[in-house]
């Protein structure tokens, strides 16, 4: 039997946005603005200094479907070099794939490895979701994992895969594959997450369950999930890392009522911020990063996401108080120096 690949280290990961050149720069193109690797690196270092365990590059938040092969390679290789040069060689890069065809997926994984990625996060094939059986899903992922040059994580995000559903029973079968090492569950079906993260039929030392929603972090940790791959952590890394650390530290010594209340309070604050991420996705994340930390542009992504908030200041004003409070909490945690 083939030896089992190891999952990525436990911790909070960020599905990073891809930063494009700003309006007014010499190389700006309103249809396909080029990569802004300087800002990309600034943001990557901001995250790892805040305790983020690793980066997911070219996931949904990274606008993977809007990038060229050349840009994918540039993006991954530049950030691998930036992390290494800054002394963060231990922070893995997980490369997203968003194709439907098995050979194309394998090629993207191979190119991602050559560029410096350590894991592949493979989005489910959702084009024919209504007609796709659980057996078909299982065979598709197994075909990818059999030939993948990187350990595979299953990316289950019904919101971008035509509501493709992967059942807990299918996850149990896929988790047994030696080259499938985990999943990112980007949905709020807590009972399904429990049936995967707490399943006695899964080797949880080999197969890690990450929630893709920071608003579910505390309950997912409680049912056996490992951590989160979370968009809000791309804005407030220390806040999300702090909840992860609080849970694991208190679980190790015995969770008290005081510990539980502190974790609930922090989860509540995270949930307030996650409402923006849930409502606007990468557009909201970029808006917040630009406004709060001065990185990147508020004009959103590539077409059709370009333009940022449609109602501009009016929309941001709905969130300003919550996000200013979260910024102050992030800065408080930074001053304590526990997560860097």
- Domains of the chain as residue ranges with CATH: 13-336 (3.20.20.70)
Instruction: State mean pLDDT over 316-331.
Output: 97
- Res 71: pLDDT: 96
Tens of pLDDT, residue by residue over 242-279, are: 999 999 999 999 999 999 999 999 999 999 999 999 99
**Six-digit token pair at 319?**
């969130």
Rounded to a whole number of angstroms, the distance between the first and last alpha carbons of the chain is: 40
Tens of pLDDT, residue by residue over 119-139, are: 999 999 999 999 999 999 999
Instruction: State mean pLDDT over 312-333.
Output: 95
Phi/psi of residue 264, nearest 5 degrees: -65, -40
Is 80 a residue whose pLDDT tops 80? yes
Whether 89 and 125 have beta carbons less than 8 Å apart is answered as no
Tens of pLDDT, residue by residue over 222-248, are: 999 999 999 999 999 999 999 999 999
Q: What residues contact residue 186 under an 8 Å CB cut-off, 6+ apart?
A: 60, 155, 156, 157, 158, 159, 211, 212, 213
Instruction: State mean pLDDT over 175-203.
Output: 97
- Res 340: pLDDT: 58
Phi/psi of residue 20, nearest 5 degrees: -105, 160
What is the percentage of the chain residues whose pLDDT exceeds 90? 89
| Average pLDDT value over all residues in the chain | 95
Map residue 52 onto helix, strand or coil. Answer: coil
The pTM (predicted TM-score) of the whole model is 0.96
**Six-digit token pair at 162?**
């035509």
Tens of pLDDT, residue by residue over 88-97, are: 999 999 999 9
């Amino acid at each position: 039997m083939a030896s089992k690949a190891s999952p990525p280290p436990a911790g909070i990961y960020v599905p990073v946005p891809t930063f494009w050149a700003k309006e007014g720069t010499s190389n700006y193109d309103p249809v396909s603005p080029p990569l802004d690797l300087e800002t990309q690196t600034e943001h990557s270092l901001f995250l790892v200094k805040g305790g983020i365990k690793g980066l997911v590059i070219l996931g949904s938040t990274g606008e993977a479907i809007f990038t060229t092969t050349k840009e994918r390679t540039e993006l991954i290789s530049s950030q691998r070099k930036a992390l290494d040069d800054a002394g963060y060689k231990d922070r893995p890069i997980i490369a997203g794939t968003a194709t439907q065809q098995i050979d194309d997926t394998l090629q993207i994984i191979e190119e991602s490895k050559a560029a410096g990625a350590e894991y592949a996060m493979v989005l489910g094939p959702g084009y024919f979701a209504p007609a796709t059986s659980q057996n078909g899903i299982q065979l598709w992922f197994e075909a990818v994992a059999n030939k993948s040059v990187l350990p595979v994580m299953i990316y289950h995000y019904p919101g971008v895969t035509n509501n493709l559903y992967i059942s807990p029973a299918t996850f149990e079968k896929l988790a047994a594959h030696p080259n499938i090492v985990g999943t990112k569950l980007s949905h709020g079906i807590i009972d399904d997450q429990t049936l995967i993260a707490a399943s006695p039929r899964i080797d949880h030392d080999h197969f890690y369950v990450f929630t893709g929603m920071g608003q579910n972090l505390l309950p997912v940790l409680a049912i056996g999930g490992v951590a989160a791959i979370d968009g809000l952590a791309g804005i407030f890394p220390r806040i999300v890392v702090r909840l992860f650390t609080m849970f694991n530290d208190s679980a190790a010594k015995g969770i008290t009522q005081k510990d539980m209340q502190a974790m609930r309070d922090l989860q509540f604050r995270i949930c307030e911020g996650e409402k923006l991420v849930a409502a606007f996705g990468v557009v909201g994340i970029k808006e917040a990063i630009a406004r709060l930390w001065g990185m990147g542009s508020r004009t959103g992504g590539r077409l059709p996401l370009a333009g940022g908030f449609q109602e501009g200041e009016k929309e941001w004003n709905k969130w300003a108080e919550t996000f200013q409070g979260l910024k102050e909490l992030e800065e408080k945690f930074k001053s304590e120096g526990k997560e860097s």
